[in-house]
Amino acid sequence: MSGPVRAAADRRNHSGVGTYFGNGTAIGPSGDFHSVVQTHLKPPAGPAPLEHRSLLGGEFWRTIPAYANVDERTFLDHIWQGRQSIKTPDELFATIGDVVDPTFLDDAREGFRRSPMAVRVSPYVVATIDWTRPYDDPIRRQFIPVASRMLPDHPRLTLDSLHEREDAPVQGLTHRYPDRALFLPLQTCPVYCRFCTRSYAIGPDTELVEKSALAKTPEHWQAAFDYIASREEIEDVVISGGDTYQLAPKNITLIGEALLAIPHVRRMRFATKGLAVMPMKILTDTAWVDALTGVVDKGRALGKDVVVHTHFNSPNEITEITRRAADVLFQRGITVRSQSVLIRGVNDDAHAMTLLVKRLSWINLHPYYVYLHDLVKGVEELRTTVQSAIDLEKSVRGMTAGFNTPTFVCDAPGGGGKRDVHSYEYYDRENGIAVYAAPSVKPGELFVYFDPIDALAPDAQARWAVPAVRDAMVHEAVVRAGGKAAALA
Ligand code: SF4
């Protein structure tokens, strides 16, 4: 051995213990060059990295006073879950009784009144909340508003920030991306999420918001099918709402078969948050699961891909009941992907987000997207910054296989569609202004996302308080982004 290899070996060998070259060869302390069989025994993982396998099980709901005598058969009945859902402060108080401090209940009563989104939570959701620390609980934060934690809306927020209605050629159908369409055949959900992007339309009217209509009638549905059939370029249809959990089995079949019959529709996704908030429906509503399976099987026979998209945000949403429900869908050959929203106090730390991703993967639900929280009315305290998404993505990537690693995206306000959070044209971190381009969706346009103002430094918060100053900041960011976009074009 001579030259650079020997020189390198000499340099590394001064400790007298030999050097391994990483290619199956090594040089010993005396300079002999030989082959080795390398064994790297990785130490056992220990309990912490396996935390994702530890799921809440048993009759956990019995800690809630109103469910103390509810047996498993009743708790797993999806009809009972729907009927017992909580919609008013009085129902909440009657259910959780003395387990929370009365000041929290007063706070929640005012939160219900000031929320733009109607409240509806299933007993399953109520039972997964830790009521000994309700302010911090990641599930409570998503569904039950408390007035004392609310922040003023961002001054640039609009009710339909994604402009879904502007991209709707017929009522209840959004056609934004060239090859995809979003069909919204109903306005109800098994629960109502405080952060819902579609709060302009979902659920009943509230004191603050009169809801827009989606495609509610068979005539609306037919108009949507006709439009999709008339547009040769549409290959992929998302059926959402509302939540397809709420569709009667006959309507799952009707919609599924109508879309499968359109030759150029190759892919369909039924969107439901149901697995996260009422997983027992998969165990006890056989007619619904059979209808879904029928559409999936028919699609497979036609060479078309029909899947379910669901929506988990907290690892605490995944229990033994969820695992059983996921197993049913897996056994039936139904692919399920999960989309998450990045929510402050829910999943915006590395531990919660990595645990969520690992837990989803453990039960065969594929983590697909993590969305930056949209600019939604009444939930400013739940939003995070673009930078936080970038930082979290680093924690997640590499932790598990790439196909189970979600892409972190910003659904660009104004209808730019989903952009990789890293792909901004310009990001003014100091003032919380990120500008994205979407050349394949809306060429030549720029889309601006705003970090929550309370996450900025005090001097930046002061600038946002002055309308003329904030207009100038936004204008400058767009000009800088435009300059970069033009240079790249
Ligand atoms: S389930 Fe989906 S559509 Fe319904 S309120 Fe939640 S986020 Fe909105």
Residue 152 is classified by DSSP as: P
User: Residue 7 above 90 pLDDT?
Assistant: no
**150-180 confidence digits (pLDDT tens):** 999 999 987 666 676 778 899 889 998 889 9
**179-214 confidence digits (pLDDT tens):** 999 999 988 899 999 999 887 778 776 666 666 667
Q: Pairing relation of β-strands 173-174 and 305-310?
A: unpaired
- pLDDT mean over 364-393: 96
Q: How many Cα atoms occupy the beta-carbon half-sphere of 16 within 13 Å?
A: 0
**60-113 confidence digits (pLDDT tens):** 999 999 999 999 999 999 999 999 999 999 999 999 988 898 899 999 999 999
Helix axis angle, 102-114 to 89-96, nearest 10°: 150
CA distance 479 to 338: 36
Ligand 1 pocket, 182 CB below 6 A? no
Whether 252 and 196 have beta carbons less than 8 Å apart is answered as no
Highest average pLDDT, of 40-49, 204-213, 403-412, comes from 403-412
CA distance 486 to 37: 55
Query: Atom 1, ligand 1: which residue's CA is nearest?
Result: 273
Q: Which residue has the higher pLDDT, 241 or 434?
A: 434
Q: Percent of the chain having pLDDT more than 70? A: 88
- What is the Å distance from ligand 1's center to 242 Cα? 6
Lowest mean pLDDT, pick from 124-133, 208-217, 431-440:
208-217
Contacting residues for 381 by C-beta, under 8 A, at least 6 apart:
149, 150, 151, 344, 345, 452, 454
Ligand 1 pocket, 225 CB below 6 A? no
Residues forming the active site: 176-177, 180, 189, 193, 196, 198, 374, 411, 418
- What is the Å distance from ligand 1's center to 273 Cα? 7
pLDDT given for residue 236 in this prediction: 98
Work out the end-to-end distance of the chain between its first and last CA atoms, rounded to an integer number of angstroms: 53
Predicted confidence band of residue 14 (pLDDT cuts 50, 70, 90): very low
pLDDT given for residue 19 in this prediction: 52
Among 410, 450, 451, 435, which Cα is nearest to 488's? 435
- What is the Å distance from ligand 1's center to 244 Cα? 10
CA distance 60 to 429: 43
Assign 86 to helix, strand or coil.
strand
- What is the Å distance from ligand 1's center to 364 Cα? 22
CA distance 157 to 342: 18
Ligand 1 pocket, 243 CB below 6 A? yes
Q: Which two tokens stand for residue 470?
A: 């904030």
CA distance 418 to 434: 14
**305-320 confidence digits (pLDDT tens):** 999 999 999 999 999 9
pLDDT given for residue 373 in this prediction: 96
Contacting residues for 469 by C-beta, under 8 A, at least 6 apart:
463
What is the per-residue DSSP string for 1-42?
A: --HHHHHHHHHHGGGSS-EE-SSSEEE-TT--EEE------P
Q: Which residue has the higher pLDDT, 23 or 87?
A: 87
Ligand 1 pocket, 164 CB below 6 A? no
**465-477 confidence digits (pLDDT tens):** 999 999 999 999 9
Q: What is the mean pLDDT of the chain?
A: 89
pLDDT given for residue 38 in this prediction: 64
Burial grade of 18 (CB within 10 A; 0-12, 13-18, 19 or more): middle
- pLDDT mean over 432-457: 95
